[in-house]
Structure 1
Amino acid sequence: MSQQHAPISSKLPVLMHGADYNPDQWLHDPAVLEEDIRLMKLAGCNVMAIGIFSWASLEPEEGRFTFEWMDQVLDRFAANGIYAWLATPSGARPAWMSEKYAEVLRVEANRVRNLHGMRHNHCYTSPVYREKTSILNGKLAERYGNHPAVIGWHISNEFGGDCHCDYCQEAFRDWLKEKYGTLEELNKAWWTSFWAHTYTSWSQVESPAQHGEMMVHGHNLDWRRFVTAQTVDFCRHEIDSVRGVNPSLPATTNMHMIEGLDYRKFSEILDVISWDAYPTWHEYKDDSQLAASVAFYHDLYRSLKRKPFLLMESTPSLTNWQPVSKLKRPGMHQLSSLQAVAHGSDSVQYFQWRKSRGSSEKFHGAVVDHVGHEHTRVFQDVAYLGQTLKNISEVVGSATPSETAILFDWDNRWAVKDSQGPRNMGIKYEETVYAHHRALWKQGIATDIIGSEDSFDGYTLIIAPMLYLCREETGRKLEQFVEQGGTLVTTYWSGVVDESDLCHLGGFPGPLRKTLGIWAEEIEGLYDYDRNGLELSASNELGLSGTYEAHEICELIHTEGAEVLGVYTDDFYAGRPALTLNRLGEGRAYYMAARLKDDFLNDFYTAVAAEAGVSRALQTELPNGVSAAVRTDGTTDYVFLMNFSGESQQIELDERSYSDMESGDSVAATFELPVNGVKLLKRRSI
């Protein structure tokens, strides 16, 4: 059965390779553009993201537009087989606008309006800002919407932050009125009777602030939801302003690892998902733990639309804004870039093409260094990758089928970190999710990262670590999933509050209590030096044995139909359940009452995946630090073997027949994978 998606652009139905390109920084030197075209072709780059911060060059004075330089760039692109993601430049407005229209500048939570400067220092609600973006975007669309070099719209850049101006306060109140209808319902949802917070007029409601209200959890949660809604609405406003001339051009916006915005809401209005990845490679000799967390985010962004995404920004060498700016070691550029492709990206792109001569990112890695030619290690790395991407473009549009999913909701993320619960020194929500995902990644198990509002159909195994905010509807969906034969795994601090951040009454884990067959009576945070243990019961269902260390969080639970697979070893709750299994309908639900380390998670998920019948990329044991990922078109599987261990590793393939993805030659069943090595294989799909 075909599992092929259409290419993101029919103009460029290959793996995209390119960078953010800022020719407006070099308008004083026309020779730079000519040299850039030569170097782009030499590096195997076929697409550039252009105009991202070009507002001042496109509209240097209000109402005076200067498109000639953009004409020249795009025309030369078209003549040389290079394409463009054309950006709307709203990420940074020109100084003339800030000077003339103060309302476009963002107001911080302290209610002080910012000065001109930085990026995204503007108000998404401001009528003036919306009008100005619409005018410029419309002119860009009219002039370039049908240009042969343009393959899509790059909307703004890394949306983020919030504004607390009077426009935003009114918009927040209107959003709340739409959601709750009456103040009575709002007061009930926010539990404002606590500390006499009750509102008697809509005008009393303001955004959270450290010098005002910031301790009402439902208030905080709704503000974050509103900020996402308002930012999505601005993004939609931008898309609408460019869409009319050529509706067939896809629109994307480059996302980042930003906590403050719920990117699932953006996926509803975008045609393709793209994101920016900047890992701190080589902090340790073994990069595998970092690689697993990067894989999590690749999986997340792929899962937003369940089809290939774009790696819109990465660095070919280093950044200049991380605590330590470390160079990629030999092989790491190829390895880290192909990791994105392995997990579903149809592009590898960089920030930026040519290093800026001045300002805050003049030392940020780029394809072309200040020396200005191709005779650099980094340029050669990029060119080598460019050839590889050209050789393997048959993977474009191929799918990443998964029988396993991790539940990861932004509002749960916000709520659990705002909970003021068992461990305020660090609840480590993300780290916990990464740890569960990492145990699957080590086995080569493809994993989608989904939200509670997504469909659970097609999954065999769903993992929901720390599902603190659990709606009644989510509880019913998970109960039905298990009853119909699915396997669910969840943990401590789950089923605690509803969508308004109000505690479920009648016992935790609230809507999951029947599914899990347990009652969680108490939870405590442990000091860093505290330890407990999990002792597996003899002849338990999973066939595991021995004792594993528990730390940081432990929960006291009672079984209500669940069977005990393991008990605590220490303290006053020694002998009480720490790991349980509940059978419901045709399926199973596991519960971990304590935070357990990688050794347990690895053993546990190996057993659970086998029991659930979840498929792996390879039916063989891979060395530590080596990962495997598969994309498929339904006829051919594309297998990526990646060595993040920091050491050369011996690889043994399973019994299936493999060929090299680039050369087509047969591959031996055993081979050496060097440090930072990657092996690209093909096999026939089953």
Structure 2
Amino acid sequence: MTTKFAPISEKLPVLMHGADYNPDQWLHDPKVLEEDIRLMKLAGCNVMAIGIFSWASLEPTEGNFTFEWMDQVLDRFAANGIYAWLATPSGARPAWMSQKYPEVLRVEKNRVRNLHGMRHNHCNTSPVYREKTAILNGKLAERYGNHPAVIGWHISNEFGGDCHCDYCQEAFRGWLKEKYGTLDALNAAWWTTFWAHTYTDWSQVESPAPHGETMVHGHNLDWRRFVTAQTVDFCRHEIESVRSANPSLPATTNMHMIEGLDYRKFAEILDVISWDAYPTWHEFANDGELAASVAFYHDLYRSLKQKPFLLMESTPSLTNWQPVSKLKQPGMHQLSSLQAIAHGSDSVQYFQWRKSRGSSEKFHGAVVDHAGHEHTRVFKDVAELGETMKNISEVVGTATPAQTAIIFDWDNRWAVKDSQGPRNMGIKYEETVYAHHRALWEQGVATDIIGSEDDMSGYKLIIAPMLYLCREETGRKLEQFVEQGGTLVTTYWSGVVDEHDLCHLGGFPGPLRKTLGIWAEEIEGLYDHDRNGLAMAEGNVLGLQGTFEAGELCELIHAEGAEVLGTYTDSFYAGRPALTLNRFGQGRAYHMATRLKDDFLGAFYKQAVQEAGVARAIDTELPQGVSATVRSDGETDFVFLMNFSGQPQQVKLDERSYADMESNASVGQVVELPVNGIQLLKRKA
């Protein structure tokens, strides 16, 4: 069966290749635009993101709009077969607006209003800011919504941060009233009887503040949810303001830092997901662990809408804001860029096209350096990638089929970090999720990153690392998943609190207790120098032998029907269960009661994947640091073999017939991968 999505834009039904373009920085030199067009074509770039921070160039004074320079750029694009993601410029407001309407400026959590400057220094609730963005966006839509070069809307830029002004306080109270209805319900959900913090009037409720309330965890959690809801609402406001002229144009916004916003809520209003990736390549000799974490984020953003996404920003060389700005070594630009495509991206785009001459990003990597010509190593790398992307555009729209999923909820992540115990020196939620994902990545197992509210029925294996915040509904879904034949893997610090960050009563892991067949009585945080171990039981069903090192977190559990596969080796709880299996219905549920290292996770998931009948990209042993990923249209599989190990590697293919994706030439059973090498293959599905 053919599985292929329509191209993101019918105007450009190939892999998109381009960059953030800021011609408004070069209006003093008209020759730059002419030269840029030549260089874009030479580099194989077919799309640019334009206008991202151009408000002052589009509306230099209030009500005075100057679109002529944008007309010229887009007309030149159209005449040369280049396309544009046209941005709304709300990420940075002009100085005249900050001066005349100071209410648009953000108020920090200390209740002090910011001065003009920086990006996203605006209030998403401000009526004036919403009015001004709607006016400018509407004019952009009217003028360019049907322009032949425009393929979609790039809404703002890297949304983030929060505002604590009076408008936002009132909006927060309104959001809470809608959610809870009464103060009694709010007080119960937040457990405000703690420290006598019960609210008796809605006006008493404010956002968390360093000189006010920060210790009511349900309050903190709801504030983060509100900030997401308000930011999504502002993004929706922007989308609506550009829809009128041409409703068929897709809208995206480039996501970046996962700290503050729940991106699953954005997925509900966006047509396509895009994100900005800036890994610190070559921080260590072996890039494998970093590559696995980047793969996790590609999988996350692909999973938000379960279809191809866009890599909207990356660097063709280096950044200028990381602790150390390393150059990409030979081969890494091709490898890292194609990794995004392997995991479901239909684009590779950069920040930035041409280096700025001044200000904070003047040394940030770009396709065109300050030298201003194509005779650079970086430009050559970009052009070579452009040629490869042109040759493999048959992967556009193909799916990334996965039989395995990891649950990653934003509110769980926020709650874990706010839990105040058992290990405040480093609970390491993300690191735990990465480690479980990496054990699958190393086997070439495709993995979706889903939320607890998503459909789970299509998977064979679901992993829920540190599912601390577990709703009753989530517990029922996972119970049903296992009962119907699925394999579930959970860890310590799961099933502890509900959606209000209130502890489940009656014993942890709360809604998961029946499914896992255990009761978690206590959990101990260990110092970094502390060690414990997991001793595997003789003849256990996994076939694992010996002892594995455990540390940092040790949960003291009782088996309530679960089979004990391994026990602790040390401390007063030596001999107690540390790894269990509960056979439930037609499925299985494993629980790891302690934090275990990569050696155990690799061995465990090798058995779990085989037991669950999960397919791997290639049925072969992959060297450490080498990954295999598949995209498929249902008739042809496109296989990406990638070497992040820092050493030359050799991979023996399985018994199927493979061809080179670019040349269609037959490929032998052994593939040689140089340092930072990649092999593009295809086979019958």
**2:372 maps to what in 1?**
372
Q: Deviations over 1:278-310 (max 9, x none)?
A: 000000010000000000000000000000000
Describe how 1:125-524 pairs up with structure 2 within 5 A. 125-524=125-524
Q: Distance in 1 between matches of 2:348 and 2:57?
A: 27
Amino acid across the alignment from 2:250? P
**2:24 maps to what in 1?**
24
Q: Secondary structure at the match of 2:48?
A: strand
Cα drift, residue 475 of structure 1 = 0.2
Q: Distance in 1 between matches of 2:265 and 2:622?
A: 37
Amino acid across the alignment from 2:227? V
Structure 2 length normalisation: TM-score?
Answer: 1.00
CA RMSD of aligned residues (A): 0.4
Q: Distance in 1 between matches of 2:162 and 2:277?
A: 22
Q: Does 1:623 align with 2:623?
A: yes
CA contact (8 A) 1:281 1:290 kept: yes
Give the fraction of aligned pairs with identical amino acids, expressed as a percent.
86
Unaligned 5+ segments in structure 2 are none
**1:596 maps to what in 2?**
596
Q: Distance in 1 between matches of 2:651 and 2:544?
A: 27
Q: Distance in 2 between matches of 1:114 and 1:524?
A: 43
CA contact (8 A) 1:403 1:459 kept: yes
CA contact (8 A) 1:413 1:429 kept: yes
Amino acid across the alignment from 1:619? D
Q: Secondary structure at the match of 1:572?
A: coil
Q: Secondary structure at the match of 2:373?
A: coil
Q: Does 1:84 align with 2:81?
A: no
Q: Deviations over 1:47-79 (max 9, x none)?
A: 000000000000000000000000000000000
Aligned length: 685
Q: Distance in 2 between matches of 1:342 and 1:97?
A: 44
CA contact (8 A) 1:160 1:258 kept: no
Cα drift, residue 257 of structure 1 = 2.7
Cα drift, residue 82 of structure 1 = 0.1
Q: Secondary structure at the match of 2:299?
A: helix
**1:656 maps to what in 2?**
656
Q: Secondary structure at the match of 1:573?
A: coil
Cα drift, residue 3 of structure 1 = 0.9
CA contact (8 A) 1:406 1:448 kept: yes
CA contact (8 A) 1:105 1:116 kept: yes
Q: Distance in 1 between matches of 2:292 and 2:259?
A: 19
Q: Deviations over 1:151-186 (max 9, x none)?
A: 000000000000000000000000000000000000
Q: Secondary structure at the match of 2:588?
A: strand
Q: Secondary structure at the match of 1:266?
A: helix
Cα drift, residue 335 of structure 1 = 0.2
Unaligned 5+ segments in structure 1 are none
Q: Deviations over 1:213-262 (max 9, x none)?
A: 00100000000000000000000000000001100000000000321100
Q: Distance in 2 between matches of 1:511 and 1:623?
A: 39
Q: Deviations over 1:396-455 (max 9, x none)?
A: 000001000000000000000000011001100000000000000000000000000100
Amino acid across the alignment from 2:360? S
CA contact (8 A) 1:254 1:275 kept: yes
Cα drift, residue 671 of structure 1 = 2.6
Cα drift, residue 651 of structure 1 = 1.3
Q: Secondary structure at the match of 2:84?
A: strand
Q: Secondary structure at the match of 2:455?
A: coil
Q: Distance in 1 between matches of 2:411 and 2:324?
A: 32
CA contact (8 A) 1:520 1:555 kept: yes
Q: Distance in 2 between matches of 1:530 and 1:544?
A: 24
Amino acid across the alignment from 2:267? S
Q: Secondary structure at the match of 1:535?
A: strand
Q: Deviations over 1:295-345 (max 9, x none)?
A: 000000000000000000000000000000000000000000000000000
Q: Secondary structure at the match of 1:304?
A: helix
Structure 1 length normalisation: TM-score?
Answer: 1.00
Q: Distance in 2 between matches of 1:651 and 1:149?
A: 43
Amino acid across the alignment from 2:313? E
Amino acid across the alignment from 1:238? E
**1:75 maps to what in 2?**
75
Amino acid across the alignment from 2:545? S
Q: Distance in 1 between matches of 2:40 and 2:176?
A: 50
Q: Secondary structure at the match of 1:427?
A: coil
